[in-house]
């Protein structure tokens, strides 16, 4: 399994799955916050920097930006510790900390497909800019399409995308379906069971859009994570599956990729040189990404725009840092999936996934209700 060195030098072993809603394994120790002495030293250094800036004639807003952050950054994560989100967060903050000159505290609030984490963040985070949320824009925005949160969605925004992992259609190595055309032909003669990590997910939307475009009949079945979905496909319980590409490429010996929901196949032969949905079928789908990104309260942008600008500029430096590339390689993640994006790019993706999610909202709600009903029957 891939390992990453933690903030305090501990070794952390990660499940080599790319779906952050799966189980995890963690070894040796926990992160620690700044102790009181460190905090005092940091605060005194910040005050000194602020005073120096004002004396040098620096505008007050810039002087305050120079004193930020004045304490450790707190990152709210709406998934389990040790999964894909935690792994990517560690990779980024392990380098980011040297540009912000502070440490990062991770807080995990899994539950309700990310809803618990966002509700907690919006309720607990202040407006100083020291608290961020690290979420997966695709499935978590679709969550709001299916059911609105208790807070106005405009009260937060994403400013720093980390990756883009496109959804794919895949089958087991022993599957009788050799091409995506085989899947479509079979789906026109009977209803095919489609394994997916959960209903409100870009991968599931991709499958629904494919069925609508071709006339095939698909029945999406949520299997609670990528690991379970791959298992369902490998055993033949599912006719095929849809998941983010990274985990399938990683398990290439056991699966065959038939279609990619992206503008191009970024991983090439690692995804069996599968065609894209738009090229093969003439569809006009936006990319169906799992895209992890840092978010922040809109209130911070209004009160402290210079702090948000600092967070953005220092995050940009992370992706250009050779240490970050080395860390990604050590974690055995495909570099092709690392895709930095600013607030405007994040906003465009949120808009695109919201629009297509709204188009298939009734189908998502219906599929979710059906899945819950079947789950009760099994009990």
Going by pLDDT thresholds of 50, 70 and 90, the confidence category of residue 17 is very low
Same domain flag for 150 and 265:
no
> Quick check: is 372 in a domain?
no
pTM (2 decimals)? 0.81
pLDDT, greater one: 24 or 290 = 290
Q: Which residues touch 298 (CB under 8 Å, ≥6 apart)?
A: 154, 155, 156, 157
Q: What whole-number distance in Å separates Cα of residue 192 and Cα of residue 185?
A: 11
Same domain flag for 83 and 215:
no
User: How many domains does one find in the chain?
Assistant: 2
| Closest by Cα among 207, 339, 221, 224 to 283 | 207
Q: In terms of DSSP H, where are the helices of 194-342?
A: 202-214, 226-234, 245-250, 277-281, 298-303, 305-320, 322-330
Long-range CB contact pairs, 276-283, < 8 A, 24+: 277/206, 277/209, 277/210, 280/180, 281/210, 281/213, 281/214, 283/209, 283/210, 283/213
Which of 289, 323, 346 is the last residue in one of the domains? 289
Residue the block writes with tokens 């499940």: 15
Residues 104/7, Cβ–Cβ less than 8 Å: yes
Same domain flag for 26 and 122:
yes
What proportion of the chain, given as a percentage, has pLDDT over 90?
73
- Domain of 213: which CATH number? 3.40.190.10
Same domain flag for 251 and 295:
no
Instruction: Write down the pLDDT at residue 2.
Output: 55
- Domain of 346: which CATH number? 3.40.190.150
> Quick check: is 187 in a domain?
yes
Same domain flag for 261 and 127:
no
Instruction: Write down the pLDDT at residue 150.
Output: 94
Chain CA centroid to CA 199, Å:
16
Going by pLDDT thresholds of 50, 70 and 90, the confidence category of residue 38 is very low
Same domain flag for 214 and 232:
yes
Task: Give the domain extent around 157.
Answer: 3-33+72-164+291-355
Question: Looking at 9-23, 69-83, 294-308, 322-336, which range is the least confident one?
Answer: 9-23
Which of 289, 322, 346 is the last residue in one of the domains? 289
């Amino acid at each position: 399994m891939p390992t990453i060195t933690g903030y305090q030098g501990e070794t952390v072993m990660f499940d080599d799955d790319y779906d952050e809603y799966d189980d995890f394994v963690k070894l040796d120790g926990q992160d620690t916050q700044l102790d009181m002495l460190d905090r005092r030293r940091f605060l005194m250094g910040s005050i000194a920097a602020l005073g120096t800036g004002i004396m040098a004639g620096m505008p007050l807003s810039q002087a305050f930006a120079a004193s930020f952050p004045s304490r450790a950054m707190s990152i709210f994560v709406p998934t389990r510790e040790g999964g894909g989100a935690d792994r990517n967060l560690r990779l980024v903050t392990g380098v980011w900390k040297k540009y912000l000159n502070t440490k990062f505290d991770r807080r995990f609030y899994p539950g309700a497909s990310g809803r618990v984490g966002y509700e907690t963040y919006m309720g607990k985070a202040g407006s100083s800019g020291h608290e961020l949320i690290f979420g997966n824009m695709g499935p978590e925005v679709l969550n709001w399409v299916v059911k609105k949160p208790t807070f106005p969605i405009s009260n937060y925004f994403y400013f720093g995308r980390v990756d883009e992992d496109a959804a794919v259609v895949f089958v087991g190595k022993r599957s009788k379906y050799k091409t995506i055309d085989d899947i479509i032909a079979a789906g026109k003669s009977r209803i095919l069971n489609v394994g997916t990590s959960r209903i409100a997910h870009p991968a599931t939307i991709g499958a629904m859009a494919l069925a609508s475009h071709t006339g095939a009949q698909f029945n999406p079945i949520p299997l609670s994570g990528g690991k379970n979905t791959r298992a369902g496909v490998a055993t033949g319980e599912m006719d095929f599956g849809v998941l983010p590409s990274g985990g399938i490429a990683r398990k290439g010996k056991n699966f065959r990729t038939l279609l990619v929901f992206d503008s191009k196949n970024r991983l090439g032969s690692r995804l069996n040189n599968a065609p894209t949905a738009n090229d093969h079928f003439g569809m006009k789908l936006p990319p169906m990404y799992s895209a992890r990104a840092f978010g922040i309260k809109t209130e911070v942008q209004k009160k402290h725009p210079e702090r948000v600008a600092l967070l953005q500029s220092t995050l940009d430096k992370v992706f250009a840092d050779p240490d970050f590339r080395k860390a990604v390689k050590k974690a055995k993640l495909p570099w092709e999936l690392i895709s930095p994006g600013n607030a405007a790019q994040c906003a465009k993706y949120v808009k695109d996934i919201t629009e297509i999610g709204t188009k298939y909202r009734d189908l998502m709600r219906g599929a979710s209700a059906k899945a819950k009903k079947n789950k009760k029957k099994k009990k």
